[in-house]
């Protein structure tokens, strides 16, 4: 049986991630999508929030990472966000996408996205 999913999409926060000095100095908006794979049946059976992931608290924790210590690569940022998601023992696997819509690319583009998938060992 495949696990259920809780998805948090379009979470926005300002961070200072990037390789260029201006990115570190000025910062920019990042958008995060996180899909957590877990069994929600125990939570549903007892209508019990303690048996699932509180997506409001998760959102706050993810924003803290984006607004926190700068990194050069959004791949590194995605890994840090995945680690936050996997901190809950209930989460079996996570898919995290980090969007950088204002990336310093001197050509017209819609978005830059790095997506990673991580699971419990």
CATH number of 5-119: 3.30.1130.10
Residue tagged active-site, from 9, 51, 93, 100: 100
Q: Mind spelling out the 3-state secondary structure of the chain?
A: CCCEEEEEEEEEEEECCCCCHHHHHHCEEEEEEEEEEECCHHHHHHCCHHHCCCHHHHHHHHHHHHHCCCCCCHHHHHHHHHHHHCCCCCCCEEEEEEECCCCCCCCCCCCCEEEEEEECC
Where do the structural domains in the chain lie, given as residue ranges?
5-119
Catalytic status, residue 9 = no
The pLDDT tens digits along the chain (121 residues) read 568 999 999 999 999 999 999 999 999 999 999 999 999 999 999 999 999 999 999 999 999 999 999 999 999 999 999 999 999 999 999 999 999 999 999 999 999 999 999 998 7
Query: Residue 28: what pLDDT?
Result: 97
């Amino acid at each position: 049986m495949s696990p259920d999913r809780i998805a948090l999409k379009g979470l926005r926060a300002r961070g200072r991630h990037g390789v260029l000095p201006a990115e570190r100095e000025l910062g920019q908006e990042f958008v995060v999508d996180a899909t957590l794979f877990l069994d929600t049946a125990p939570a549903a059976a007892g209508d019990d929030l303690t048996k699932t992931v509180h997506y409001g608290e998760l959102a706050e924790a993810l924003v803290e990472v984006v607004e926190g210590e700068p990194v050069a690569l959004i791949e590194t940022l995605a890994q840090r966000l995945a680690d936050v998601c996997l901190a809950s023992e209930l989460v079996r696997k996570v898919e995290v996408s980090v969007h950088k819509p204002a990336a310093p690319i001197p050509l017209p583009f819609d978005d830059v996205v790095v997506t990673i998938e991580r699971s419990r060992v």
